[in-house]
Amino acid sequence: MACVVQSGPGDDPDAQPDDGQDDSRRAADAFEVAFGQIYQRFHRRDGKRSELSGASRAVLMHLSLAGPLTVGEMADHLDRAQSVVSDIASGLEAKGLLAREKDPADRRRTLVWLTDDGLALLAADRRVLSMELLDQAVATMSRTDRAALLRGVHALLATESPSRASKPVETKGER
């Protein structure tokens, strides 16, 4: 499926920001259409992201953001019973995704941390787009087009959205 994103007359990729509401609206509309096409063309089609349950994924993700924690600290952070988090951690440890280690600052405490396999699984699980499909498509682009693509995406991400600027993004399962 070909990606058809039309630009208007006088569109200049190096132009400075414009006060024209119509121009920015047309660009936003064109990007929204292109984004839908990008998602349809490049999203992963490999079935379930992983065999992780939501609770297991939450533990791995929390550890990846917070660093090594005790089971009790994780239970507090996740607002779950310590016994439940301990069972989840034990299951992940049995799969080689977590490891328990003594806290170097206090040998009485045992910390839980991600193994290399756990980090790799979490990274793969987070991917929305197929790296294989993206790599094939990007390989056909010129260096100039690749650089322009990344510059545009970075410029868009660098903007501050007034509707979301003061609100933290909540993920599923947060309270």
The pTM of this model reads 0.58
Structure tokens at 145: 């087009």
User: Furthest-apart CA pair in the chain: how many Å?
Assistant: 69
What pLDDT was estimated at residue 124?
A: 83
The CATH number, out of the four listed (1.10.10.10, 3.40.50.1370, 3.40.50.1000, 3.40.630.40), of the domain defined by the range 55-124: 1.10.10.10
Strands 98-103 and 106-114, how do they pair? antiparallel
| Side chain identity at residue 2, one-letter code | A
Q: What are the residues whose beta carbons fall under 8 Å from the beta carbon of 88, sequence distance 6 or more?
A: 55, 56, 59
Rg over CA atoms, the chain: 22
What pLDDT was estimated at residue 47?
A: 62
What pLDDT was estimated at residue 4?
A: 47
Domain segments of the chain as ranges: 55-124
What pLDDT was estimated at residue 10?
A: 44
Which residue shows structure tokens 């787009």?
129
The per-residue pLDDT string of the chain (175 residues; one tens digit each, 9 = 90 and over) reads 444 444 444 455 555 555 567 898 999 999 999 999 999 999 887 666 567 888 998 999 999 999 899 999 999 999 999 999 999 999 999 999 999 999 999 999 999 999 999 999 888 888 889 889 999 999 999 999 999 999 999 999 999 876 655 455 444 444 3
- C-alpha span between 142 and 144 (Å, rounded): 5
